[in-house]
Amino acid sequence: MSFRERVKKEILVIDGAMGTLLQQRGLPPGWCPEEWNLSRPESVQEVHKLYLEAGADIITTNTFGAIQLKLADYGLGHRVREINLAAANLAKEAARPYGAMVAGSVGPLGKFLQPLGTMTFDEAYGQFFEQCRALVEAGVDFILFETFGDIGEMRAALIAAADAGDVPVVASFTFDETGRTFTGTDPETAAVVVERLGVSAIGVNCSVGPRELVQVVQKLTQSTNLPVLVSPNAGMPEMVEGRTVFRETPAAMADYAVRFVEYGASVLGGCCGTTPEHIKAIHQSVKGLQPRVRSRQFGLRVASRVKTVSIAPRGIPVAIGERLNPTGKKALQAEIKEGKTEITRRDALAQVEAGAAILDINVGVGGVDQVAAMERAIHAVQVLVDAPLCIDSTDPRVIEQALKIYHGKAIINSVNGEEKSLQTILPLAKRYGAALIGLTLDERGIPPTAEERLAVARKLTERAEAMGIPRQDLMIDCLVLTVSAQPEGVPETLRAITLVKKELGLTTSLGVSNVSFGLPNRGLINAAFFAMALAAGLDAAILNPQEPRMMETLRASAVLTGRDIRAEQYIAREQQAGGVQAPAKPVEQAAATPLEILYQAVLSGDKDNIVSYIETALAEGLSPMELLDKALIPGIEEVGRRYGAGLYFLPQLMMAGETMTRSFERLRPELARGPAKKVGTVVLATVKGDIHDIGKNIVSVMLANHGFEVIDLGKNVDNEEIIKAAMEHRAQIIGLSALMTTTMVHMADLINRVKEQGLNCKVMVGGAAVTAQYAREIGADGYAVDAVEAVSVAKSLVS
């Protein structure tokens, strides 16, 4: 049986850690584990056999870092295919006598995709495609993407795997103690995004022990009907007598495995610190158990990076904000032509604050590169708000570029019954895992009767399902005509909504404001028609959420139609507003001082406009130090506070940091002419043997933004080089980062050298593998769990 069949019928056990067992066989610190597939194949195969003898049904190839970008750090970037083929063949040969399956292991790139980093979707796709193609060629049973923390990177990986060959794919994420990935994705959102990208299972691995994963696994199994993989660490790492130790016992891991099966997991194993003994205990505890059948109905779900929005036939109706559309908006048209995003960002924030759950984005302006314009808009908005996006365009090229770079599950607005539309738009929705708004028109135009529109909706549904798009991901727009021109059309639209929901069971949407075109007091007509449509069963509406009457109508109608049970949301909103909803302030009237504008720009990570705001403030007579002390520094400190409180996530932190960096670059000439204001000097490095530097790079930016001079030595840095730099620059602090438990020992060595040489500097440590207890054990002066805390620790060390 294939993996797809077995994972639905039986509980499967997957292997544990590879790297630590290779080290026990002589793998030197800092050496490339994947290279041993070529030079020490017997050692790799020995590890495979230990797990097979322990009862593993699945073993993973020794290819977690066998991607060109990471192999290049060892001078092996040209041997991707060779290393992956060798690894897969070693695993297959070991697995054959046991009847076990082989998973082709693929890890993350170690770089952020745009807009958080510089890597494009196409570059990431190319990296993953090369490795996956080699693994497919070698004949692995499935590809396992593991330890991913960025949903955007996972999307690129899954799309590449689908193109590399017809093999099952498993998407496994790493969640921290907060229940989110390091870029802020929760388990439900992870499931919503990947389940439409062809995965055979979804999973969670690494970062924490089984105890910390209980709620994550519960949420994951409640959020999807896909099989679930769970491979926790054997607890959190500790350093004992110079050795990394994981305390979770095989018996404890086995007990948790049984609990995870009860929640709905069907693939159990381990990650860092787990051994064949752990896998043997897990095998003995779960053998004979059967997968729990899960068959929940979820309806239409779309997602941003950090939030899922459900549109259900009996759920609360959803407002889709319409203001990011240049039609009739001269200022927005001009901004799109100039390649700017100031109005786009401002209106996106305002709509979400006014109650929009989803934002429609359209860049349809003549004479501009709409592909580039849409890319700018998506990049600007998706790190600014948590609302999912609706991609509004008639150009397939624009839609495809938007779907590539969006780090979530979007809606395409729209597809219709015309053959050309069906043949171009449906494949995009299938490939990129998007939902669809289906317009009830075809080559004949908009049908005059409700029954004819139902027929188009049925055609759309059948064609979508034939393409492999589930019917719940299609939302039908029954199209409203202008009542002043065709008054007979409004009743047909309302009947069509009712028919589509009754006959097809689909969700429905409308662009409400079309009904009032050409009439005075359009808001009144819109609100009245909206109430009628909601009574007919409308589930979502594209509207202006900053018109209070529209949002009031939505909330009140939800109560009257029984969709807001016991009026809970209506009452909560009224209590929040004090019984009266104040009219939304038009964006154009939002007067603010230059300092307030700068402060808000940092909060929203407005890196594209910060320099122009600074120019305006300087022109009005404010000094550079005033801008720093009264706007920029308070802004980044508030970002840090929100990050610490769980209100912001890593993307917002990074965008705010980059905004601050651009501010300092602009103000540096003026500040250089004034008195120096340096907090201290920090030498930063990722320790020897560790090629991961994402966290260290974020710390570097944050420290620089708080007045520190940062000497960033990069990754895989020898302790001698770090000490030399600290002496040369007279650093007050050395900051060390380590992601891998095998490289943490270099931290203790450096601290000993600092003390032996009598250097007058402090050492602070951090990184995914490092704990506060370990920092104390090795004598570090400070420990930081993240970049925000690193700033506080650094300030305390120089005070």
**Is 363 within 8 Å of 393 (Cβ atoms)?**
yes
End-to-end CA distance of the chain: 65
Distance CA(250)–CA(286), nearest Å, equals 13
pLDDT at 379: 96
680-798 has the same fold as 591-672: no
Which CATH architecture describes the domain 302-547?
A: Alpha-Beta Barrel (3.20)
User: Residues 512-532, buried b or exposed e (16+ Cβ, 10 A)?
Assistant: bbbbbeeeeeeeebbbebbbb
Task: Tell me the pLDDT tens digit for each residue of 754-775.
Answer: 999 999 999 999 987 788 888 9
C-alpha distances in Å from residue 165, one per residue of 147, 193, 370: 22, 21, 32
Give the residue among 67, 90, 55, 108 at the shortest CA–CA distance from 270: 55
Residue 429, SS3?
helix
Determine the average pLDDT of the residues in 538-557: 96
pLDDT at 670: 79
Query: According to CATH, what is the number of the domain 3-286?
Result: 3.20.20.330
pLDDT at 675: 57
Single-letter amino acid code for the residue at 512: V
Answer CATH for 680-798 from 3.90.1150.10, 3.40.1670.10, 3.40.50.1110, 3.40.50.280: 3.40.50.280
pLDDT at 674: 62
pLDDT at 589: 35
- Taking 50 as the threshold, does the pLDDT of residue 703 lie above it? yes
- Helix (H) / strand (E) element for 9: namely helix 3-9
> Is 478 annotated as a binding-site member?
no
Q: Is 446 left (phi over 0), alpha (psi -120 to 50) or beta?
A: beta
Give the residue among 229, 154, 165 at the shortest CA–CA distance from 197: 154
DSSP 293: P
Write down the domain spans for the chain: 3-286, 302-547, 591-672, 680-798
- Taking 50 as the threshold, does the pLDDT of residue 145 lie above it? yes
- Helix (H) / strand (E) element for 94: namely helix 80-95
Distance CA(437)–CA(390), nearest Å, equals 9
Q: Which value, to the nearest 10 degrees, does the dihedral of the CA atoms of residues 421, 427, 431, 432 take?
A: 10
> Is 32 annotated as a binding-site member?
no
For the beta carbon of residue 502, count every other beta carbon within 10 angstroms.
10
pLDDT at 676: 53
Record the tokens describing residue 762, joined without a space: 């402090």
Determine the average pLDDT of the residues in 482-499: 95
Mean pLDDT score of the chain: 93
pLDDT at 744: 79
pLDDT at 330: 96
C-alpha distances in Å from residue 365, one per residue of 224, 325, 410, 411: 40, 9, 22, 21
Contacts (Cβ under 8 Å, ≥6 apart) of 25: 40, 43, 46, 47
Residue that wins the pLDDT comparison between 738 and 319: 319
Give the residue among 675, 673, 674, 695 at the shortest CA–CA distance from 684: 695
User: Residues 555-576, buried b or exposed e (16+ Cβ, 10 A)?
Assistant: bebbbebebbeeeeebeebeee
Strand 201-205 relative to strand 169-173, pairing:
parallel
Distance CA(255)–CA(776), nearest Å, equals 31
Cα 358–Cα 359–Cα 365 angle in degrees, nearest 5: 160
C-alpha distances in Å from residue 498, one per residue of 448, 450, 474: 16, 9, 16
Sign of torsion, CA 568 573 578 581? negative
**Is 119 within 8 Å of 113 (Cβ atoms)?**
yes
pLDDT at 171: 99
pLDDT at 398: 98
Task: Tell me the pLDDT tens digit for each residue of 65-115.
Answer: 999 999 999 999 999 999 999 999 999 999 999 999 999 999 999 999 999
What's the full length of the chain, in residues?
799
For 591-672, give the CATH class.
mainly alpha
Task: Tell me the pLDDT tens digit for each residue of 619-676.
Answer: 999 998 899 889 998 998 899 889 888 889 888 988 998 899 899 889 888 776 765 5
DSSP string, 313-365: TTS--EEEEEEE--TT-HHHHHHHHHT--HHHHHHHHHHHHHT-SEEEE----
Task: Tell me the pLDDT tens digit for each residue of 564-600.
Answer: 988 998 998 887 765 443 333 433 434 689 999 999 9
Distance from the Cα of residue 323 to its chain's centroid:
25
Cα 44–Cα 48–Cα 54 angle in degrees, nearest 5: 150
SS (H, E, C) 11-64: CEEECCCCHHHHHHCCCCCCCCHHHHHHHCHHHHHHHHHHHHHCCCCEEECCCC
Contacts (Cβ under 8 Å, ≥6 apart) of 189: 151, 303, 304, 305, 306, 307, 308, 408
Determine the average pLDDT of the residues in 189-202: 98
pLDDT at 42: 98
